[in-house]
Structure formats: structure tokens, C-alpha cells
Amino acid sequence: GYTASMPRIHVLSDALVNRIAAGEVVERPSSVVKELVENAVDAGADRIDVELVAGGRSLVRVTDDGCGMDGDDALLALERHATSKLETADDLDRIATLGFRGEALPSIAAVSRFELHTCADPAAGGVRVAVDGGRVVDVAPAARARGTTVTVRELFFNTPARRKFLHSAETELRHAQETVQAAALSRPDLVLTLRHGGRTLIETAPVSDPAERARQVWPRGDRILRFEDQS
């Protein structure tokens, strides 16, 4: 007769759990852009700069002038379920932020070559944390102005089955551009820029008139610029 052999149950490693959980947060480069821009907004940033290479497949970099983090918080932000926005279960009923700062970072870091450069107090100094596929490989002091820069390179480099389902750089750029446009329209008080391949695609100044914001986001009246104008 047939006898099935079932392996013993065991607890997955944190590294494997993070790579699985990344699928809940990171579908494509625009997902990374969305999470990092929302973190910047929640950090009180007045200016958010987004830089992409190859539609975000090769590089996503988001820089803000928000509150930043000290060294301890920078490392905690890379732990699963770490956040500055919740303390008790009751807080779930009064969420007033776009996300829980840090919650997406370990998932993004698990599937990329990741760098977090942040500073809460320039007088005390900043910190740079490098993560390779979910593994912290370097932590070092690094001076910078108050704020945070997150650099994400080679998204899905360690999950080739997921990487092959990314679309062309043109398509991925279009999704990322739509994400930045939505953020800019929802917060006309912020400076938001998007650059791709050395070309500035979106550059906004703070305004109070939503119509003026729309003109900043679509200066030529086009909802999406042609890809050949973005390379």
C-alpha cells in the first residue's frame, strides 16, 4: 500500500519568512515607491525626491527631509512588525498615518540590495545600514542632513521566479509615475520630484490650489508622458 511520508513541522527562519512576506508588500517597483513615499509623508517630510533607473527594476531611491531615525531605530525599522505608530490594540481604531513606519522595510530589504541612510539629529550624526537579501552586512556612522534616504537596487535579485514576471522598464516606469502622481495630487503642500535616467519627469512646488497641482503633475496635459521622453 501507499504510505505518505510527511516531514516534521518546523519553524521557518526569519530570512525565509521575510522573503515570503515581501510578496504581500512588494509586487513591482511602484510598490516600493509607494511604501517609501508614504513613509516619508508620515515622517513629516516637506520634500520627497524619487529617483529611478530602468523603471525601478535596477534602482529605486527615495530621499526625504522628514524626522529621520537614530541608529537604534534604524536597525529596529528593519525588524518584522516594528513600528513607531502603534503601541496598543486600541491604537488600531485611531490610525492617522499612511502606514506603520518601518513595517515595509524588512520585506523590501529581503528581496533587494538595500541601503538605509538616515539621521534624526545632524549634531549627533547619522547612520548607514546596508542589507543584502535580508541580511544586514554593514552598519556605519554616516553624516547627512536630517531625513532619510532609502536605496533599493536589483529588486528580486534573489527571487528570480518573481523577477521574471516584472514587465518592461517602460511599463514599470508608467506604474511608478502614476504612484508619484497620485501622491503629489493628494498632498499639494509637498515638494515631490520624480527623475528617471537623468531626466526630471515630475517636479512640484507647494500650492493650495488643486488645479494648479494638476498642472504641475501634467504640465503638457498628458496623463502619462511617452517613454521615449523619459529615458
Q: What pLDDT tens digit does each residue of the chain (231 aa) get?
A: 555 555 555 666 766 666 665 556 788 999 999 999 998 998 899 999 999 999 999 999 999 999 999 998 898 888 765 454 445 555 445 555 555 444 688 889 999 999 999 999 999 999 999 999 999 999 999 999 999 999 999 999 998 988 999 999 999 999 999 999 999 999 999 999 999 988 999 999 999 999 999 999 987 765 544 444 444
* Closest listed residue to residue 36, CA positions, set 185, 45, 125, 19: 45
Question: What is the C-alpha separation between 219 and 231, in angstroms, rounded?
Answer: 18
Cross-sheet strand order for the sheet of 199-203: 135-141, 127-132, 113-119, 147-153, 59-64, 47-53, 191-196, 199-203
Q: Is 223 left (phi over 0), alpha (psi -120 to 50) or beta?
A: alpha
Beta strand pairing status for 113-119 and 147-153? antiparallel
Residue 125: what residue type? G
